Amino acid sequence: MTDPNPTVPSDFIRDIVAADCAAGKHNGRVVTRFPPEPNGYLHIGHAKSICLNFGIAKENPGGICHLRFDDTNPTTEDPEYVEAIQDDVHWLGFDWQGKKFFASDYFEQLYSFAVVLIQKGKAYVDSLTAEQMREYRGTLTEPGRNSPFRARSIEENFDLFRRMRAGEFPDGAHVLRAKIDMGSPNINLRDPVLYRIRHAAHYRTGTEWCIYPAYDYAHPLSDAIEGITHSICTLEFEDHRPLYDWVVAETDAPHRPQQIEFARLNLTFAVMSKRKLLELVDKKLVAGWDDPRIPTIKGLRRRGYTAEAIRAFCEHIGVAKRDAVVEMQLLEYFIREDLNKRSPRVMAVLNPLKVVIENYPEGTVEEMEAVNNPEDPSAGTRRVPFSRVLYIEQDDFREDPPKQFFRLAPGREVRLRYAYIVKCTGVVKDPQTGTITELRCTYDPDTKSGSSQEQRKVKATIHWVSAAHAVPAEVRLYNPLLTTDLAKIPPDQDWTQLLNPQSLERLTGCLVEPGLKQAPVGARFQFERTGYFCVDPDSTQTGLVFNRTVSLKDAWAKIEKAQKTS
Task: State the SS3 of 60-123.
Answer: CCCCEEEEEECCCCCCCCCHHHHHHHHHHHHHCCCCCCCCEEEHHHHHHHHHHHHHHHHHCCCE
Interface with ligand ATP (CB under 6 A), residue from 234, 340, 373, 484: 234
- Nearest approach, Cβ of residue 273 and ligand ATP (Å): 7
Query: Has 440 been annotated as catalytic?
Result: no
| 330 Cβ contact list (under 8 Å, min separation 6) | 313, 316, 317, 556
Interface with ligand ATP (CB under 6 A), residue from 84, 164, 270, 272: 272
Q: Which stretch binds ligand ATP (CB under 6 A): 42-50, 168-176, 417-425, 435-443?
A: 42-50
How far is 468 from 548, CA to CA, in rounded Å? 25
Q: Which of residues 288-317 bind ligand ATP (CB under 6 A)?
A: none
How far is 198 from 178, CA to CA, in rounded Å? 19
Q: Which stretch binds ligand ATP (CB under 6 A): 35-43, 99-107, 466-474, 503-511?
A: 35-43
Q: Which residues pair with 157 in a beta bridge?
A: none
Asked if 268 interacts with ligand ATP (CB under 6 A), we say: no
Rg of the Cα trace of the chain?
31
CB atoms within 10 A of CB 104: 25
Query: Has 264 been annotated as catalytic?
Result: yes
Burial letters 340-359, b for 16+ CB under 10 A, else e: eebbbbbbbbbebbebbbee
How far is 35 from 244, CA to CA, in rounded Å? 15
**Which one, 45 or 304, has the nearer CB to ligand ATP?**
45
How far is 351 from 333, CA to CA, in rounded Å? 26
Catalytic residue among 37, 156, 366, 560: 37
Q: Which stretch binds ligand ATP (CB under 6 A): 32-40, 299-307, 331-339, 536-544?
A: 32-40
Query: Has 398 been annotated as catalytic?
Result: no
Q: Which of residues 273-292 bind ligand ATP (CB under 6 A)?
A: 274
Interface with ligand ATP (CB under 6 A), residue from 37, 238, 308, 337: 37
Q: Which amino acid is at 336?
A: R
Asked if 213 interacts with ligand ATP (CB under 6 A), we say: no
Residue nearest to ligand ATP (CB): 45
How far is 521 from 536, CA to CA, in rounded Å? 6
Catalytic residue among 58, 150, 256, 264: 264
How far is 495 from 332, CA to CA, in rounded Å? 24
Asked if 35 interacts with ligand ATP (CB under 6 A), we say: yes
- Nearest approach, Cβ of residue 124 and ligand ATP (Å): 27
Q: Which stretch binds ligand ATP (CB under 6 A): 38-46, 147-155, 405-413, 534-542?
A: 38-46
Size, binding site for ligand ATP by CB under 6 A: 14
Interface with ligand ATP (CB under 6 A), residue from 14, 26, 46, 303: 46
Interface with ligand ATP (CB under 6 A), residue from 57, 118, 194, 233: 233
- Nearest approach, Cβ of residue 48 and ligand ATP (Å): 4
| 84 Cβ contact list (under 8 Å, min separation 6) | 41, 42, 289, 298
Contact indicator for 496, 458 with CB cutoff of 8 Å: no
Q: Which stretch binds ligand ATP (CB under 6 A): 46-54, 130-138, 198-206, 243-251?
A: 46-54
Q: By CB under 6 A, name the binding residues for ligand ATP.
A: 35-37, 39, 45-46, 48-49, 233-234, 264-265, 272, 274
Residues labelled catalytic? 37, 264, 274
